Amino acid sequence: MPSIPKEFNRASYAYDLPGHLIATHPIQPKESAKLMVYERASDKLTHATFKEIFSFFPQDALVVLNDTKVMKARLFAHTPTKRSVEILLHRPQSLTTCLAQMKGKVRPGLALELEQGYSCEVLEVLGNGLRVLEFRHRGEVLEWGGVLNMLELLGHMPIPPYLKRPDTSADIQDYQSVFAKNLGAIAAPTASLHFSESARDHLLKHYQHVFITLHVGAGTFLSVESEDIREHPMHAEFVQVSPKARQALDRAQYILCVGTTALRATEHYKRGFGNAPCTLFLHAGNPVKHAHALLTNFHLPESTLIMLVASMVGLDKCLELYQIAIAHNYRFYSYGDGMLIL
């Protein structure tokens, strides 16, 4: 059997991260987070903070922002025998059914009780690990709008599992970006979390910008299982690019994306996929073609996100930058520090 080229071998994207560098809470104030700036053309590396970020943004850049809003998508229910079941709601499947992940054994027909008169029933167990649920309030079947109202009442912020802690009231604000508008994500577009309200206002006032919507799904946390990354089935996510955003993207000479989700949505549109669900997997064999710069966090080993970064800077350089970040005590993952690739 022929060997897998290094850039397509999942194991090539592994690295060792000391546990103390996993950020379990965001740093305050947000502008004090570290920022690594890597300029590809000159191979120049600069260590800065987010307080200085706009000194690195090219003035002629079109800044692409993801305005998705994180749902309180984690629910805790119990069976008639009082066994606890955790639900992570994904998205509507039809007018009255939803797709979800669930912890613990469940079977079709299982009825679950929540608080304040809410309940749900498992209608189907799918082969991809998802379950089809129907929610009710005092016996009346809920449509998606009613489910969203329920989440506001009963739901918990779906902070990443690697934080290994329960969500707190602070996460309701901390795990939501200042650009958030359109409800539907079950994970935050984390590069956006670095922006305070004042930084947001400065960006919107001084830079050409557009908002796109990509509702981040739980697939963002799924590890790549296949040894050859080209065989990885990428999860689908809702994307919407408005006519105004399309016009700006069509005219732009230099595109700077705030976050991998904004970048994937940009590439999805520029490659002609319109508002179809985004399943774009960017890696060495399918590299970034249309975006020129990316603001991003430091991502999990062997994840599709580190593979995206490597497609922009090269695998060896990506691993080198991550090792430098570790040596300089950068904080990693969703609540961690950031990197600007120019």
Q: What is the pLDDT of residue 221?
A: 66
217: confidence class by pLDDT, cuts 50, 70, 90: confident
Determine if the pTM surpasses 0.85.
yes
- Measured distance CA(69)–CA(273) in Å, rounded: 23
Residue 60 has pLDDT above 90, yes or no: yes
Q: What are phi and psi of 155, to 5 degrees?
A: -75, 160
Instruction: Please give the share of the chain, as a percent, with pLDDT higher than 90.
Output: 92
pLDDT per residue over 238-287, tens digit each? 999 999 999 999 999 999 999 999 999 999 999 999 889 999 999 999 99
Structure tokens at 65: 């922002």
Average pLDDT, the chain: 95
Long-range (24+ apart) CB contacts under 8 A made by 55-59 are 56/340, 56/342, 57/207, 57/256, 58/254, 58/256, 58/293, 58/342, 59/207
> Mean pLDDT over residues 16-27, rounded?
97
Q: What is the pLDDT of residue 49?
A: 98
What gap in Å lies between CA 120 and CA 284, rounded to an integer? 43
Q: What is the pLDDT of residues 276-312, one digit of tens each?
A: 999 999 999 999 999 999 999 999 999 999 999 999 9
- Quick one: pLDDT at residue 13? 97
A 10 A CB-CB count for 56 gives 16
- Residue 10 is predicted with a pLDDT of 97
- pLDDT (average), residues 164-193: 96
Average pLDDT over residues 76-81: 93
Q: Rounded CA gap, 181 and 142, in Å?
A: 23
Question: Among 33-47, 126-140, 143-157, which stretch is predicted with the lowest mean pLDDT?
Answer: 126-140
According to DSSP, the residues that pair with 45 across neighbouring strands are 38
Q: What is the pLDDT of residue 317?
A: 98
pLDDT at 105: 80
Strands (E), 31-110: 34-39, 44-49, 62-66, 68-70, 74-78, 84-92, 98-103
pLDDT for 239 equals: 96
* Residue 187 pLDDT greater than 70, yes or no: yes
Classify each residue of 37-49 as buried b or exposed e, where b means 16 or more C-beta atoms within 10 Å of its C-beta. Answer: bbeeeeeeeeeee
Q: List the one residue out of 89, 150, 131, 101 whose CA is nearest residue 121.
A: 131
Find residue 22's DSSP bridge partners: 332
Residue 1 has pLDDT above 70, yes or no: no
pLDDT tens digits, 41-56? 999 999 999 999 999 9
Q: Is the pLDDT of residue 234 over 70?
A: yes
Whose tokens are 């939803």? That residue is 98
Cα(258)–Cα(266) distance, integer angstroms:
11
